[in-house]
Each structure stands twice: as structure tokens, then as C-alpha cells.
Amino acid sequence: MGTMLRVVNVSKKYPFSSKNALNNVSFSLKTGEWRAIVGANGSGKSTLLKILACALPADSGEIWLEDEQITQYSLYSLLAEHPHIQYVSQHLGLKPFHTIRENIAYPIRHLGERARRQRIEELLEIFELQEFQNQKPQTLSGGQQQRAALAVALANIPTLLLLDEPFSHLDMPLRFELYQVIQKIRNLFCTTILWVTPQLEEALAYVDTVSVLEKGCLVQTGTPQEIYYAPATFSIAKLFGEYNIVEGSIVRPSRIEIALNPTGNYVIQQVTFCGIYYRVVVEHFVHRQQLVVYSLEKLPLFHRADVRFKN
């Protein structure tokens, strides 16, 4: 697979701000790659996506979409948007006085009648919007509106889809539904996706790769497993949930097995029900080091246990 997007040393400082919002950020995405961009609040995620959406000019650096340099696209083009890039955020941008069908038809009005109708039907089906197609956006639920906004963004089959926390106000079942739809879109059209989401553990299940931003700098890129189990720093580890520090290394609770044993070295101090698993805190009998482990079974408090570190 070829390279779809290449970002080279992009920097950005907002006027009146003392620090760079982005600092020499470089990375590339393969065609059809789905990448999560993660980082604390204010780390520069939205700034990066807006620059890639050509909605904000970078101060320096280059952005290549296949063979086209798009860095200054927004300055030279009379069109506000690049035809092959779509940006979707929580702000839906649906036209309130038009039906869902009309909203989807608008970005593909240049297509011939037949092709247009076919694309609309396809999108209505993928996003399960057939029964709402003649309704106006405000008569739909939040989740349905979000699906419609995605359908509009995908109408022209963008080569690059930029998602800036578009689902964070939806509840979990709806988010999972949309993740499935995006997966389907990616498989159908080989769309390259850059996704910012606060639901980091959910993102790990879907994306091919993850890049971490810290204060405007790209500090680590890897597969979900690499980022989760071998984060480069403690602050990256913290983004993805709990961890133990064992002899200076980061060890996730899921990498530790626990078994009751009357002569074990640890004492069970705390057991909390977390849905699929129990979160168990154990303390070493002698040197008092505490570990967090996850157990599928409810374990008895203050019993002795042994732990085993899995590879």
C-alpha cells in the first residue's frame, strides 16, 4: 500500500500565544490506515486536524496528500474545503431546513442523476437512515444526526477522513455502532482515517496505529499493543488506564495473574466490581509493594495469594 498522507515538520503557533500548539510534527499514513491521535487536553490534536482539513494554515512544514502539496491549500483555493478531505467534529453542520436525503445529496450535486441516486441509496443503507431520509435533522435523535453527518461527510468518498471527537457525546452502544460503520466504510472505500477520541481504550480495539501528542510534539507512534504495553513514558502509560511499576517497568494489570495460595507472598487488600472483571489490589506480605490486578472471579479480602507476571 502506498502512502496517502505525509506530514513533514509541521509547526503552528497561535497569535498572542507564548507556546507552539504544534512543534515539528512529522508522520505519514498508508492508504486505508486507521490511526488514532491521542493526547491530553490542549496537546494540539484539534490544531493538527484543522490544519490537515485546510481550515487553518500551518506556520511551517509540508503536508502531502499523495502527490499534492496541500499545506497552503486554504490560502490559494476559493473553495473552503479540499475535495478529497473531510473533517467531522461534534458540530454536525447539517442543513436544518433540508431533509436528511437532501443533506446527503448536496455534496454530490455534481454527479449525474443516476450515480447520485445510487450513492444516496448506498449511504442511507450503510448508515441505516432510510426511514428518516425525508425528515429534517432536528426531528432525529443525537445518534441519528451523527450518523447523517457522517453520511454527508462520506458522500464524496473522501480519501482522508478526519474525525475530531465526533462521537464523544453519544452513549456507548451508539458509539460502538458507529465504529462498526466506520470500519465498514474503510473496508469498502479504503478511506484513510485520522481519529481523535477521548475514549482511548475503545479506540485501541479498532485502529491500526496510534500516535501520541504531548504539548504539541509527537512523542510516540505504534500499534495499539505497543502503545498500551510498551508506552515510551509514564505520561503516555497514564493516558490508557492503570498500570503498575515493577522494577522500573510499566506492567498493565492484565499482564498479571493472581491465584489464591495460603502461603502466597501477597495479601488481597481491595476488591472492586468493574463489570466484566474485578479490580484487585494486593500488597506484598513483606515489602508492602502494592499491585493492581484484574480477576474474572471475585476474590476474598485479606486472603493470601501469589501473582505471576505474564509475557
- Binding positions for ligand ADP, rule: CB under 6 A: 14, 17, 21, 39, 41-47
Which residue number is nearest to Mg ion in terms of Cβ?
A: 46
CA dist 165 and 236 (Å) reads 19
> In Å, how far are 107, 120, 182, 193, 267 from 187, measured between CA atoms?
22, 19, 9, 11, 49
Q: 289 φ, ψ to 5°? A: -70, 135
**HEC sequence for 166-195:** CCCCCCHHHHHHHHHHHHHHHHHHCCEEEE
199 near Mg ion, rule: CB under 5 A: no
Distance CA 234, CA 250 (A): 8
Question: Which range, of 46-54, 101-109, 115-123, 216-224, touches Mg ion by CB under 5 A?
Answer: 46-54
Q: What single letter denotes the amino acid at residue 181?
A: V
Residue 41 interacts with, from ligand ADP, Mg ion, none (CB under 5-8 Å by kind): ligand ADP
- In angstroms, the Cα distances linking 268 to 24, 79, 246 are 47, 63, 18
Quick one: which segment of 41-49, 64-72, 203-211, 255-263 binds Mg ion (CB under 5 A)? 41-49
User: Shortest gap between Cβ of 13 and ligand ADP (angstroms)?
Assistant: 9
Amino acid symbol at 236: I
Contact 87, 50 (CB under 8 A): yes
Which of Mg ion, ligand ADP, none binds 263 (CB below 5-8 Å, type-dependent)?
none
CB atoms near residue 261 (< 10 Å): 13
Q: How far apart are CA 37 and CA 203, in angstroms?
A: 10
User: By C-beta, is 17 or 311 nearer to ligand ADP?
Assistant: 17
Using CB distances below 5 to 8 A depending on partner kind, what does residue 311 bind out of Mg ion, ligand ADP, none?
none
Of these, 46, 199, 209, 223, which contacts Mg ion (CB under 5 A)?
46
Interface segment toward Mg ion; rule CB under 5 A; list 44-52, 108-116, 146-154, 216-224: 44-52
The residue among 88 and 123 lying less far from ligand ADP, judged by its C-beta, is 88
28 belongs to the binding site for Mg ion (CB under 5 A): no
Closest approach of Cβ 37 to ligand ADP, in Å? Answer: 8
CB nearer Mg ion, residue 198 or residue 300: 198
Residues that bind Mg ion (CB under 5 A): 46
